[in-house]
């Protein structure tokens, strides 16, 4: 079986292509926002990444060092990154 190579620097492209083809405006917005989030995260661009989050993001990390960790709000999330 051939090895499948995934290029993370192109992973958001199918989402943007799907957004361009959809006629549902809400779907278009969501697809583009996820694509923008993925692109900023992979490129290590903190400001554009944080701009894709809600005003009060909540991140759950399950079993980090056997302790569940929750980050509440923009300040905690941006401080962690």
Read off the pLDDT of residues 62-72 as tens digits, 9 standing for 90 and up: 876 677 789 99
Residues 6+ apart with CB under 8 A from 12: 34, 35, 36, 38, 39, 42
Q: Which of 3-7, 21-25, 51-55 has the lowest mean pLDDT?
A: 3-7
Strand ranges, E, within the chain: 58-64, 67-72
Q: What is the pTM of this model?
A: 0.75
Read off the pLDDT of residues 42-65 as tens digits, 9 standing for 90 and up: 998 989 999 999 889 998 888 766
């Amino acid at each position: 079986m051939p090895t499948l190579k995934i290029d993370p620097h192109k992973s958001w492209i199918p989402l943007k292509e799907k957004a361009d083809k959809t006629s549902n405006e809400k779907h278009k917005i969501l697809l583009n926002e996820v694509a923008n989030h993925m692109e900023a995260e992979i490129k290590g661009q903190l400001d554009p990444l944080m701009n894709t989050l809600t005003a009060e993001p909540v991140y759950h990390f399950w079993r980090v060092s056997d302790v569940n960790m929750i980050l509440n709000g923009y300040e905690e999330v941006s401080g962690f990154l």
